Structure 1
């Protein structure tokens, strides 16, 4: 997105981007209780059937190396894995109330603290601090976190994911009609964005998950601002 926004094909008609982060649960059966403990390393070894199988997956996907390419110096494999319902609800609430620009900043703050620093994503105080760090009222964020605000939207999005046959992440739905699965190289995304940019009169497929997530129409019309920096982490 940054490259396409910084260097538009037609300066008089620059491409705009809005982002909806669709909630997805890698471990849907994890208890929401914050006392639950499992390291991500143990989770992955369990998922892939043992240490050797996990190492084979690592070597195949090269996520650490690809992270280095986009400025992520390290992933904390021993971070504590946890239920992510509260963090999803918070991000979606910020999107509805404040828009995708602020939601993106929050999402990146959560990613940085979780993937690089090992912070749990169901820690109420951490989530509230993260929200406050991007300009959201800490008290409002705690109310959302502690009172189940927005759970119905998360559940509606899960039903839509199942109907669409999406069962893994990352999955990108671009312009409402192009679906790319897996850790897609940045260059492939840029090529797709450029293709769309070169056909400005082609009808857009819109935002597939907007209704399920309760995103107001005025939020969908907002474009992310021209970036002045690269966020600390992406995932």
Structure 2
């Protein structure tokens, strides 16, 4: 754990993120429902704002990742009106099947960790799964370029 904290703190420092490691680890299904619903309803820009707020609250403020307070704050930060947010946050079934189907689809594709990045090449695709160094991504991209020439 000490190595993880050291590594994540170093990564965060280069990106302006001050990670804290004392928050609650919990199920994030409700956060995923919220993101899925508003990505469909309002587009990727709003979903990106939701994700940024959720990450900030969880990783820097140690907030519970799926508590109603956290979800309402994420909606506020994304410019979503409270009445719109309430419909999704309080209805545990809103976007639930969409999220569960996406999870099943990815499990069927062999995804069992994040991040999961597939780089499509002309001759073959390369997949990078789990925590990796920047150099691993660079090497994969260089391989795809070389094989595509």
TM range (shorter): 0.7 to 0.9
Please list every run of 5 or more consecutive structure 1 residues that lacks an aligned counterpart in the other structure: 1-53, 200-235
Whole-Å Cα distance in 2 between the matches of residues 58 and 125 of structure 1? Answer: 28
Q: Which residue matches 1:82? A: 26
Runs of 4+ deviating beyond 6 Å = none
Is 1:145 the counterpart of 2:89 in the alignment? Answer: yes
Q: Which residue matches 2:75? A: 131
Deviation at 1:149, TM superposition (A): 0.5
Deviation at 1:70, TM superposition (A): 2.0
Question: How many residue pairs end up in the alignment?
Answer: 140
Structural mapping, 1:40-59, within 5 Å: 54-55=1-2, 58=4
Of 22, 30, 38, which aligns to 1:94?
Answer: 38
Please list every run of 5 or more consecutive structure 2 residues that lacks an aligned counterpart in the other structure: none
More helix per residue? 2
Is 1:183 the counterpart of 2:131 in the alignment? Answer: yes
Structural mapping, 1:1-235, within 5 Å: 54-55=1-2, 58=4, 62-72=7-17, 74-147=18-91, 148-174=93-119, 178-186=126-134, 189=137, 192=141
**Structure number with higher relative contact order (C-alpha < 8 Å, ≥ 6 residues apart):** 1
If the length of structure 2 is used for normalisation, what is the TM-score? Answer: 0.78
Check conservation: 2:76, 2:82, Cα contact below 8 A. yes
If the length of structure 1 is used for normalisation, what is the TM-score? Answer: 0.52
Check conservation: 1:95, 1:103, Cα contact below 8 A. yes
